[in-house]
């Protein structure tokens, strides 16, 4: 089965979309090392047409095994070395991450 993580991220005040995209581009080898493939370029959230999910940036990642992919990524020293930068850029308290499964 194929899973897609939908990563919906609001930026902290002062952070830019360009900085956020550069952060994710820099971590591409880490994601790939742990079975996460970005499906598209990061998407700029324009506005919520319904609902109240704060968002500036949306990423889509595909994986066959979300549990081991996320565990491996979170334990990866290269990822851990960028956590302070992540915390400067993103309001993780307001972030939404959805695990979805392809229906066919």
Listed by start position, the domains of the chain span 3-101
Dist. CA 8–CA 11, nearest whole Å = 10
pLDDT tens, per residue, the chain with 104 residues: 899 999 999 999 999 999 999 999 999 999 999 999 999 889 999 998 999 889 999 999 999 999 999 999 999 999 999 999 999 999 999 999 999 999 87
| Beta-bridge partners for 101 | 3
- Would you say 94 and 54 are in contact if contact means Cβ atoms under 8 Å apart? yes
Domain 3-101, classified CATH 3.30.70.100, yes or no: yes
Predicted confidence at residue 104, as pLDDT, reads: 75
């Amino acid at each position: 089965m194929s899973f897609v993580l939908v990563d919906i991220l609001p930026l902290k005040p002062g952070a830019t979309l360009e900085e956020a995209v550069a952060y994710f581009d820099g971590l591409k080898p880490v994601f790939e090392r742990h079975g996460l493939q970005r499906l598209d370029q990061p998407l700029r959230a324009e506005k919520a047409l319904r609902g109240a999910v704060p968002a500036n940036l949306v990423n889509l990642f595909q994986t066959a095994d979300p549990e081991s992919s996320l565990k491996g990524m979170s334990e990866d020293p290269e990822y851990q070395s960028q956590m302070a930068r992540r915390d400067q850029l993103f309001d993780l308290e307001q972030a939404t991450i959805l695990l979805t499964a392809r229906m066919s």
